[in-house]
Chains A and B, each alone.
Chain A
């Protein structure tokens, strides 16, 4: 029998208002989800046009999970989102054109062409850029929480990892240290059931990954990752608990990776029926229906939203396309930091 608690769905506007989101916030949440998917869909097109070097990853199916958690974070909180968590960047406020520039290896991408894909973050938005090695960002998130604890700041660090990456030692060491020191950390496990071609039963043998939290001395929760409101409510609870000194929480957010591991992968190893089943739970469609049934979301509002998202993305694409490629002269610049680099909001 599972040890972790299973999160309840949110049933009404009143309930979600109590959890912290009013109607405007809900529409903003929906918008972030649309922008997130729109960025990745357009990225796909760019890739097919040959404009994106290397590979290309998306988080289709994970929009609710990423946006839901990010909506629950406070402005001073920080996080280490991964390759399925574009929604976190979008929600924290990164400008979409910079993401397209990043995809295309341009000068105006957050990494100025030094890294690709979602390997980026705007530190001014409280995000730390992921590395490929999974889940190496978990100890880093715990270290951020340690800094908050040492300085007695009421801030929280959120660390993401996939169910595949849960098998590596970094996950254990990070959760153990956070548990021992009751650090203000929230661990989000994006469980999309596959790690590249490897199904979850070949990655771990416990019933749910959230069950592991008990072994580290904190609470584990399993949430339906296609339900943005449920994700938001659980993330919010966990974040506020951590903020008040209640220690870490592990939230396992269940989704299905709705595309291949990356653009080259047709995911033929995933049973068709599984895709069909989860397609019915598409997070965006689901939230749209909820808004219509519970929040008087009108045709007019919907059209207006879709139009403005489309415009933002189109403008972003053309602006990104104007961004120059980096000059080879800059190749070895910035390997080492200078004292002036420490002049950031965080390093002061």
Chain B
């Protein structure tokens, strides 16, 4: 055990997998000599050589399409998008090829695409997005959104081991801000098992990624108002832990769904609909969503602050629910 940043946990997990499995290789823009835009693969090329830490041309289609071909030939590729936003250029290769190959042709495509996502530092409309729900909608893709250093490592190991295409959303705001104990040995954090970030009785917050910490700060505020908030960190959206969500909804009878992605068609809508379908009788209030509005992510700080759900927004939503 050692204390590590979220970024270090990703890096260590990846390095360990590359050390133990020769089939694992990394490909992306500037991942080799430079160590990646965020330095997740710093020092990897010295350790594993230029054919396992591959500096690709600016070519997302070729990177993800290439990973698919290599995976079908028995490799375990881990692609890095420089920013999650650029995955749109490889949409076809995830959605058209990788996601459907097992179903229609019987060929598994075990690839991992690492996606530095999320806002909070004036990245603007093209370096801040959280496009996880677009991919959660595609049958055949798995979607992973770790919130803690321990999960960042364990979920990455599971993603590499998984026989399917996995989108691994790593939140940029957590990279160096979040530190915690991370086991040194190899371990797998299973997909589809939510983590109780905070136990409580009055209201459930269902969330993931960086919003776990926003929810936690809001919960601390409400604790002083004698409200006990339960926070479920989904960890993975596909598959997602319906059971844990429904159980918590039944226990508290009030649910707030929180995400940094935009509202319409966001994954929160799926969670809310599922609770409405399967736990309606247990609810004492409407299912509330706190999300980004339906707009691109803006650049200027006051605009971006208004865009990303803040602690006060969550606290206000929780108070509203408490009073219902």
| Chain A residues within CB distance 8 Å of chain B | 78, 110-112, 114-115, 119-121, 123, 128-129, 131-133, 136-151, 157, 169-170, 173-174, 176-177, 180-181, 334-339, 341-342, 344, 346-348
Structural contact, A177 and B74, CB atoms closer than 8 A: no
Q: Does B101 contact A (CB under 8 A)?
A: yes
Complex CA–CA separation, A136 to B91 (angstroms) = 11
Structural contact, B110 and A337, CB atoms closer than 8 A: yes
Q: Does B69 contact A (CB under 8 A)?
A: yes
Chain B residue nearest to A129 in the complex (CB): B105
Asked if A147 meets B65 with Cβ closer than 8 Å, knowing A139-B93, A336-B102, the reply is no
- The 10 A-B pairs at the shortest CB distance, nearest first, are namely A143-B69, A139-B65, A143-B66, A337-B108, A129-B105, A147-B73, A173-B62, A337-B163, A140-B69, A144-B69
Complex CA–CA separation, A78 to B276 (angstroms) = 49
Structural contact, A347 and B108, CB atoms closer than 8 A: yes
Contacts of A335 in B (CB 8 A): 102-103, 139-140
Complex CA–CA separation, A180 to B27 (angstroms) = 14
- Across the interface, B57 reaches (CB within 8 A) one of A114, A138, A180, A337, namely A180
Structural contact, B163 and A145, CB atoms closer than 8 A: no
Structural contact, A342 and B110, CB atoms closer than 8 A: yes
Complex CA–CA separation, A343 to B257 (angstroms) = 40
Contacts of A346 in B (CB 8 A): 72-74
Asked if A148 meets B62 with Cβ closer than 8 Å, knowing A140-B97, A337-B164, the reply is no
Chain B residue nearest to A80 in the complex (CB): B69
The tally of CB-CB contacts under 8 A between chains A and B is: 154
- Across the interface, B163 reaches (CB within 8 A) one of A78, A114, A174, A339, namely A339
Contacts of B108 in A (CB 8 A): 337, 341-342, 344, 347
Complex CA–CA separation, A140 to B109 (angstroms) = 11
Contacts of B92 in A (CB 8 A): 133, 136, 170
Complex CA–CA separation, A123 to B68 (angstroms) = 14
Complex CA–CA separation, A142 to B67 (angstroms) = 9
Contacts of A341 in B (CB 8 A): 102, 106, 108, 163
Which residues of B in the span 3-62 have a Cβ within 8 Å of any Cβ on A? Answer: 25, 27, 51-52, 54, 56-57, 59, 61-62
The smallest beta-carbon distance between B139 and chain A, in angstroms, is: 5
- Across the interface, B75 reaches (CB within 8 A) one of A129, A136, A138, A147, namely A147
Asked if A136 meets B96 with Cβ closer than 8 Å, knowing A335-B139, A337-B164, the reply is yes
Asked if A128 meets B107 with Cβ closer than 8 Å, knowing A123-B72, A144-B73, the reply is yes
Of the candidates B92, B101, B104, the one having the most CB atoms from chain A within 10 angstroms of its own CB is B104
Q: Does B100 contact A (CB under 8 A)?
A: yes
Chain B residue nearest to A338 in the complex (CB): B163
Which residues of B in the span 197-236 have a Cβ within 8 Å of any Cβ on A? Answer: none
Structural contact, B66 and A139, CB atoms closer than 8 A: yes
Structural contact, B140 and A336, CB atoms closer than 8 A: yes
Contacts of B102 in A (CB 8 A): 334-337, 341
Q: Does B70 contact A (CB under 8 A)?
A: yes
Known A146-B27, A173-B65; further 5 A-B contacts with Cβ < 8 A: A139-B61, A143-B67, A143-B71, A335-B103, A348-B74
Complex CA–CA separation, A177 to B106 (angstroms) = 27
Complex CA–CA separation, A209 to B142 (angstroms) = 38
Complex CA–CA separation, A137 to B92 (angstroms) = 11
Complex CA–CA separation, A84 to B74 (angstroms) = 27
Asked if A78 meets B73 with Cβ closer than 8 Å, knowing A169-B61, A173-B61, the reply is yes
Of the candidates B54, B66, B103, the one having the most CB atoms from chain A within 10 angstroms of its own CB is B66
Contacts of A121 in B (CB 8 A): 105
The smallest beta-carbon distance between A7 and chain B, in angstroms, is: 27
Structural contact, B105 and A120, CB atoms closer than 8 A: yes
Chain A residue nearest to B27 in the complex (CB): A146
The smallest beta-carbon distance between B60 and chain A, in angstroms, is: 8
